[in-house]
Amino acid sequence: MNQISCPAILVSAPASGQGKTLSTAALARAWKNRGLNVHAFKCGPDFLDPMVLETATGQPVYNLDLGMCGEQDGLVRLYQAAQTADVIIVEGVMGLYDGTPSSADIAMRYSLPVMLTIDASGMAQTFGALASGLLGYQPALIPAGVLANKVGSTGHADMLKDSLPVHLSWLGALPQDEAYALPERHLGLFRAQEITDLDARIEAAATALADSSALPLPPKVTFTALNMATSPMPSKLLAGKTIAIARDAAFCFIYPANIDCLQEMGATVKFFSPLHDKTLPEADAYWLPGGYPELHLKEISENAGMRDALLAAFNADKPILAECGGMMALSESINGEPVYGLLAGKSHIEQRLQGLGTQHTELLEDIGNIGAHTFHYGKFDTPLLPKCQANSRYGVGENIYQQGSITATFLHFYFSSNPTLAARLFSYAKP
């Protein structure tokens, strides 16, 4: 058994929309500006918030999720981060107690002190009561303090600070200022690369936060990893294989842990842009992750070179994994506009959410479940029969389709939850 200690904190809130991502990014950047090595994590299977936190810290941001990733995966990643970090900061998901498992569950499992971010606009002394109630609701939580967001003035901040009970620390305030706002669309925040002044926004928020508080480091947390967990290297199941991954504005939902897992299994990883490249890199398998193909239909439909290259790879029986937006892009059309046309069926973006939550699927009977997540407004109408279906806590989950060498689904797989099965996703034996 190995142990290491490092200051660490989990940032949560009473609900979504309180400013967790901005607060986490500002606090991380403020600590980074003091010369500290800051490692950030994100609770849950989110892709977009980690992009903002990566901008704030300059380092890859990994996910902590007891359902999709597994408890042991979190133990390993926190332990590894603590080897080099001066401080670890974890952004929660939704409200503190929302979801199963919740941010509170993650905080308690890994003994992470909890800081609350509260939207204080239109609020005075109730601020202290709300913070006290949330952090005292579960006695096993370790309170780290409270940060006020959208504060109207210095006087307002003083009023909020004075409302806190003596056992809760004041960790600063962010003024109400549109200069800090992070734009959103139907799947959450805009991609970090789309917010052209994101770094300036984070820097301004960090400066404002540092002006309101000394921003002390959180308490140290001891992270423990069993001997078996500190060397999580899967077998070299992909040794000698090259996997080419689509990565651009339309295909961007990629867990950093998935890239690590492929490389740890021996794969060489290459990247390409279906929007801008006319050819595919030479590879043994291809992966089209999710993203926003519906926002780039003109570029997709006009890139005949990429369409022909994908068709050639398919005709050559090269394994192709298509997740969510990747699956929609391989279908015949999205919202009536032609796309790559490799998969039988048509895709649409609906007004209402079509799928949400953690799911697990076997895919193959002999090697267990793989964790995955789904969150989409897309719909795929197809004559294809599912190869299998995932399971969720609510019953039957998403379909997984197989058409020739293509494996397609609305699911986003988390490879490290079952590396052996993940390796199989990039192999295909023609019947």
Cα 348 to Cα 380: distance, rounded to the nearest angstrom: 7
- Positive or negative, the Cα torsion across 373, 379, 380, 383? positive
List Cβ neighbours of 240 (8 Å cut-off, separation of 6 or more): 266
Alpha helix ranges (H) inside 213-296: 256-264
**Is the separation of the CB atoms in 403 and 315 below 8 Å?**
no
DSSP classification of residue 113: -
Cα 31 to Cα 9: distance, rounded to the nearest angstrom: 13
First CA to last CA distance, the chain: 47
User: Hey, what are 225's tokens?
Assistant: 């990893």
CB atoms within 10 A of CB 196: 7
- Catalytic residue status for 261: no
**Is the separation of the CB atoms in 53 and 24 below 8 Å?**
yes
Nearest to 410 by CA among 392, 402, 421, 398: 398
Catalytic residue among 6, 43, 69, 324: 324
Active site amino acids: 324
